[in-house]
Structure 1
Amino acid sequence: MEGKTCCVTGHRDIPADETAHVKVALRQEIGKAVNDGFTVFLSGFTDGVDQYFAEIILELQNKNPDLKLIAVLPYRKRKDSLCQKEHTNTLLDACAEVLIIQEEYRPNVYAKRSRYMVEHSDRVIAVYDGREKGGTVKTIRFAHQFRKELREIPVGLILDKNGTNLGQNRI
């Protein structure tokens, strides 16, 4: 991919009272990335954070046509299901490219998609609530493994290893 590349990871189930804060923080991180010379942005197009990210990139693209959004989808039928929803179909149509990691669904396909995005990015923006399981933490681990720059947006309740609430973490 040509240009400095940034991808996003985050939870699908952001609490409704946190959504506005997440969108503001994402907009700020994306703005910093653009100011730092990033022009290519990868989204896995999962519900929640991935789609907020895509919406913001496409909005900014109206003012800065050098920005490029690429959808990285885990398997072909995922694209079909996204295209059935008018909103996500519109977002996908606006992408510079739609990459499909593999044809068929397999249990590890989302991890493969996340690994691909991290490997092909210079910076990873993570919206993360401290969970120790799930795709977001796996993607953060890929970022560490591949020594990528990680920008974390904490959200919601942050829990320690034992599941003890460490307090509300505001953006």
Structure 2
Amino acid sequence: MEEKTCCVTGHRDIPDEQIDAVKYALRREIVKAVSDGYTGFMTGFANGADQYFAEVVVILQKDFPELRLIAVLPYWKRMDSLCQKEHTNALLDACAEVIVIQDEYRPNVYAKRNRYMVEHSDRVIAVYDGREKGGTVKTIRFAHQFRKELREIPVGLNLDKSRINLGQNRK
């Protein structure tokens, strides 16, 4: 049986007063994914939503040891910078697998990483504030393009309330 995989996309700059709510919402979405049969959880390990996602998966592995955290890094030097920080180094150590998209930095490497995660996932969890530019919205567009299930967690001050249900929980 092929593993069901879920990935995350989200902003790096989540307002401090919303971090706990985002972590709670990520936990709720990950537990829902586990109850839906997901065992693979992919993250690009950027600051913010990606690392909060990894933290929650690591905590949940205590109750669900079958969960696999998978790091998808854009290029090799990103691994070096993550390993220099105790917290992110510990999260990387908890990963069952680390995938590196390419050897060196190039301007489009983050888009390639995000596309890889969407293509190799069945569900995408997006921590999204409604902005129309940036990696998160591009990843949401990949999810639509590849017809992946999308679960949105609205966050931030830029959120247009009329957009909350746009694509949410869509398959």
TM-score (normalised: structure 1): 0.92
Q: 1:28-76: CA deviations, max 9, x gaps? A: 0111000000000000000000000001001111111110000000000
Is the deviation greater in 128-137 or in 150-159? 150-159
Moved over 3 A (4+): none
Q: Measure the CA separation in 2 of the matches of 1:126 and 1:7.
A: 9
How many matched pairs?
163
Match of 2:111 in 1: 111
Q: Given the alignment of the two structures, is residue 18 of structure 1 paired with residue 22 of structure 2, yes or no? A: no
Match of 2:142 in 1: 142
One-letter amino acid of the structure 2 residue matched with residue 118 of structure 1: V
Secondary structure, counterpart of 2:107 in structure 1: coil
- Percent of aligned pairs with the same residue? 77
Secondary structure, counterpart of 1:14 in structure 2: coil
Please identify which structure carries the higher strand content: 1
- CA RMSD, aligned part only? 1.5
Match of 2:168 in 1: none
Q: Measure the CA separation in 2 of the matches of 1:150 and 1:157.
A: 21
Gaps of 5+ in 1: 161-165
Gaps of 5+ in 2: 165-171
Q: Measure the CA separation in 2 of the matches of 1:12 and 1:158.
A: 14
Secondary structure, counterpart of 2:53 in structure 1: helix
TM-score (normalised: structure 2): 0.92
Match of 1:4 in 2: 4
How far off its partner does 1:159 sit?
4.8
